[in-house]
Amino acid sequence: MPTDPRRQMLDAWLTHHLPDTAPLEPASGDASFRRYFRALTRSGASYIVMDAPPAQEPLAPFLDITQRLAQADVHVPNVHAHDTHAGFALLDDLGTTPYLAALSPTTADALYADAFATLLRIQRADCTGLPDYDAAMLGREMALFPDWFLGRHLGLTPDTAQRALLDTVNAALIASALAQPQVFVHRDYHSRNLMRTATDNPGVLDYQDAVRGPLTYDLVSLLRDAYVAWPEERIRAWALSYRDQAARAGICLAVDDATFLRWFDLMGLQRQLKVLGIFARLYHRDGKAGYLADLPRVLDALLRIAPRYPDTAPLAELLHTLDIPARLAKAAPPCAP
């Protein structure tokens, strides 16, 4: 059986901070190098233990953002102990029911209402000194699409004209993002990182990559989730409802429906290009095939939204010309989990 030196270090560290525990159990997977374990004490208490290898996942940003969000009255795990040098942390256990498992056509309104109330608090949190979600960062994310999704996953190399088209669309998406009010951005605010809790619903996870960025980024992450699909009319109604709440809270000035929905839609396109690239990279670079099943849902959202606007319609035309939906279906491994 292969040895796991970090696991041995983690067990020794936990014995010092929480000696009365049963053997650790895996708590969840992650798209990064982090690992999570559930620690159950013999008295029945439950904690989460984070293993964040310092070279890949430094713990300091997580601790910093945890404090900022807690000060904004966001339900995040309390940190009971940590070691930034080793990359270990002992956290509250927010339960075993992510929004992904709880959402349904009948529960969505109530669950999203709670998520909206929490997002209002997140967007008012202190973002002093956080990285700006600027043109360079937005562009780097979208570069994952031609490199990893088109190139590595589908075996396509865009020609000069196609690259120029992608660059023009990317520029429009960046301009729209930067035109929005800039707020605290969780950056992965979706159904796998929100936990349904009995009090102060939802509990919020996986926020260590927070930045200062566009108002609609977390909203589109939530409503055009890579893991959940809703009718478009319902998504747009939720988005405009959030716009009204944010205006009343003083987070943004009131803007008309068309302006806000354009911000929302173009922000979604930026995220969808990014996610297609990331999910392909997780498979080809990191051997994580589980995200491949979500690629068609993300691509479908992109192909539905892009034709709505003159500056993004050429993207949809290009993807249809390249027959991307059919190529994606053929690229799926036959035994992908």
Question: Does residue 73 sit in the same domain as residue 176?
Answer: no
The DSSP result for 10-56, as a single string, is HHHHHHHH--SBPPPEEEE--SSS-EEEEEEBTTS-EEEEEE--TTT
Question: Does residue 60 sit in the same domain as residue 115?
Answer: no
Question: Does residue 73 sit in the same domain as residue 121?
Answer: no
Boundary (domain end) residue, out of 92, 117, 137 = 92
* Count of other CB atoms within 10 angstroms of residue 245: 15
Based on the structure, what is the number of domains in the chain? 2
Asked if 272 and 147 touch (Cβ cutoff 8 Å), the reply is no
pLDDT digit of tens for each residue in the chain (337 aa)?
457 788 889 988 988 888 877 778 888 765 568 889 999 888 888 999 999 999 889 999 999 999 999 999 999 999 999 999 999 999 999 999 999 999 999 999 999 999 999 999 999 999 999 999 999 999 999 999 999 999 999 999 999 999 999 999 999 999 999 999 999 999 999 999 999 999 999 999 999 999 999 999 999 999 999 999 999 999 999 999 999 999 999 999 889 999 999 999 999 999 999 999 999 999 999 899 999 999 999 999 999 999 999 999 999 999 999 999 999 999 866 554 4
Question: Does residue 212 sit in the same domain as residue 156?
Answer: yes
- CATH code (residue 31): 3.30.200.20
Boundary (domain end) residue, out of 60, 92, 124 = 92
Question: Does residue 265 sit in the same domain as residue 236?
Answer: yes
Question: Does residue 35 sit in the same domain as residue 119?
Answer: no
Question: Does residue 144 sit in the same domain as residue 276?
Answer: yes
- 176-210 residues labelled b (16+ CB within 10 A) or e (exposed): bbeebebbbbbbbbbbbbbbbeeeebbbbbbbbeb
Predicted local confidence at residue 1, as pLDDT: 43
Domain span at 80: 5-92
Helices (H), the chain: 5-17, 59-71, 99-102, 108-123, 135-144, 160-179, 217-223, 232-248, 257-284, 295-305, 313-321, 324-331
Q: Please give the model's pTM, rounded to 2 decimal places.
A: 0.93
Question: Does residue 173 sit in the same domain as residue 311?
Answer: yes
- CATH code (residue 322): 3.90.1200.10
Closest to 27 in 3D by CA, of 19, 17, 16, 38: 38
Boundary (domain end) residue, out of 41, 67, 92 = 92
Tell me which DSSP letter residue 250 carries.
T
Query: For residue 215, is it within any domain?
Result: yes
Q: Determine the Cα–Cα distance for residues 204 and 74; give it in Å rounded to an integer.
A: 8
Question: Does residue 29 sit in the same domain as residue 116?
Answer: no
